[in-house]
Structure 1
Amino acid sequence: MTTQQQVPVIAVVLAAGSGLRFDPDHPKQLVRLDDLPIVGWSIKAFEDNPHVTDIVVVVNTTVRQEIEELIDDRGFDKVKLVVEGGAERTDSTEAALSALADAGVPADAKILIHDSVRPFVTQQMIDGCIGTLDEFTAATVACESTDTILMSEDLGDRRVVREVPDRSHCFRVQTPQAFRFATIRKAYDLAANDDLFRPTDDSRVVVEYLPDQPVAIVAGSPTNMKVTTKDDLPFARLTAANIKARREATAAAAAGQLDDDAAKAAAREKVRALFGHAFGAK
């Protein structure tokens, strides 16, 4: 009987963004949600996953010290590297891939690349990415679109509708995005020769430069949101409060302090109480 060979499963948490749409003077990665900064939620999700073996965090000079202190204070032992990113997202991914290559990471390693400002990634999404790489060499978390999507084009000084794709085939891309190391390295090596190519996510690099490699879809969720502007913070705070209330209720039920129905009711009441606070209500 044969057993599947174990390979490294490495999470790359991208936290080098400048956050110009948020507040350049207050990096969104460091905004606190409950007891952790946003980047801490993301790192913790991979730290808590039993299948993830190592974590690489990509930073910029502005946030590096605070993130390194967070890693030490919280005991995120899986974080093996903190590397400097670049001006663009692709530069940060390439910096991480180069560091992994220098460290001798094997070609069949599983690499999960995640936006640090998606703090509510679930264990199911992480496990889904890891498992999918047993069948495919690339995968991305994505959420089915509930809105009709318009493809546009320029007409003079206006944008007009060029095409309305079938909504059943439309998804909103999220992260993590997962790859065998050799696949994402090859895709980026090919993309390096194209000065005009500026993808906003890593799966597109594979789609564009390795078209024979299908990118599988792993089920995402609307709660796996990206904090992009300050308008996203109320929902992020509400989601964080909801998660905390459910964890506390589950812990109370496990300790025998509440039965399951009472625990669920307590969680709902706490979320209602926190709802107004999250949205700045008195």
Structure 2
Amino acid sequence: MRYIAIVPAAGSGSRMGGDRPKQYWPLHGRPLLWYAVETLVSVPRIDAVCVVLSPEDTEWDQYDWSPLGSKLRTLRVGGATRAQSVANALSQLSGDMSAQDWVLVHDAARACLTVQQVDALIDTLSDDPVGGLLAMPVADTMKRADDGGRVGETVARDGLWQAQTPQMFRGGMLIEALRARTDVTDEAGAIEALGLRPRLVAADVTNFKVTYPQDFALAERLLATRGK
């Protein structure tokens, strides 16, 4: 049984704007994508880290990724959606992994992931029959907007969790789930569609997703405190 990480990085990052995909925006002198990959290759139990690129990607080769070591692989099989990119990567890897191998899918834009968070996920799920994901209990009052941009209702936050990544499932199960559901926004959603219940593993706010330009300043400060 092995642990394989997949990092979908074929998107355009349209909410960020700019002239390049978000995953290549500079952060402390390196592309944003670097930090998530660096953490994953630093986890001793992870055997390979596969970055899924668009076939038309022209940015990757402009950087020297060699310091990240021999675990790093690139797969130029990215699709139009995250689910398609992960499914394509699993298809590409099918000859190199068993159905029981664990697959950890992580957002390229979650640059502040730590080795300790990944270790906690693996420790919690290594014997789990389904798998699960890092997540954080919702602390704020939640509002659902109406069509006019006003509050339509207040949503009870009891039992609500904010999904994060990595999301960790058996390779065979994930292939089956993504084959059945290509419209999901995360892997846990595909597993849930099979009638299964992924386990929630508590993380914290530091594992946030860099989505908007203002998020870069927060990521820079947080990484600086870690000496990066």
Same structural fold, with TM-score higher than 0.5 when normalized by the shorter chain: yes
The correspondence for 1:50, drawn from 44, 69, 85, is 44
The correspondence for 1:164, drawn from 146, 155, 160, is 155
Q: Which amino acid aligns with 2:84?
A: D
Partner of 2:83: 90
Q: Which amino acid aligns with 1:33?
A: L
Quote the offset at 1:35 in angstroms: 4.0
The correspondence for 1:108, drawn from 92, 97, 100, is 100
**Structure 1 Cα separation of the partners of residues 37 and 86 of structure 2:** 16
* Contact in 1 for aligned 2:133/2:164 (Cα 8 Å): yes
Please tell me whether Structure 1 or Structure 2 has the larger radius of gyration of its CA atoms: 1
| 2:185 counterpart of 1:200 | yes
Mapping for residues 20-169 of structure 1, pairs under 5 Å: 20-61=14-55, 63-66=57-60, 69-72=63-66, 74-101=67-94, 103-131=95-123, 132-151=125-144, 160-162=151-153, 164-165=155-156, 167-169=157-159
The correspondence for 1:191, drawn from 181, 185, 199, is 181
Quote the offset at 1:34 in angstroms: 1.8
Normalized per residue, the structure richer in helix is 1
Q: Relative contact order, CA 8 A, sep 6+: which one is greater?
A: 2
> How many percent of aligned residue pairs carry the same amino acid?
29
**Structure 1 Cα separation of the partners of residues 90 and 17 of structure 2:** 28
Provide the alpha-carbon RMSD of the alignment: 2.1
Quote the offset at 1:223 in angstroms: 1.0
* Contact in 2 for aligned 1:136/1:216 (Cα 8 Å): no
Quote the offset at 1:31 in angstroms: 1.9
Q: List runs of 5+ in structure 2 lacking aligned partners.
A: none
Quote the offset at 1:27 in angstroms: 2.1
* Contact in 1 for aligned 2:24/2:59 (Cα 8 Å): no
- Matched length: 227
* Contact in 2 for aligned 1:119/1:224 (Cα 8 Å): yes
Q: TM-score of the superposition, structure 1-length normalised?
A: 0.74
SS in 2 for 1:139: strand
SS in 2 for 1:176: strand
Q: List runs of 5+ in structure 1 lacking aligned partners.
A: 1-6, 193-197, 248-282
**Structure 2 Cα separation of the partners of residues 225 and 150 of structure 1:** 20
Q: TM-score of the superposition, structure 2-length normalised?
A: 0.90
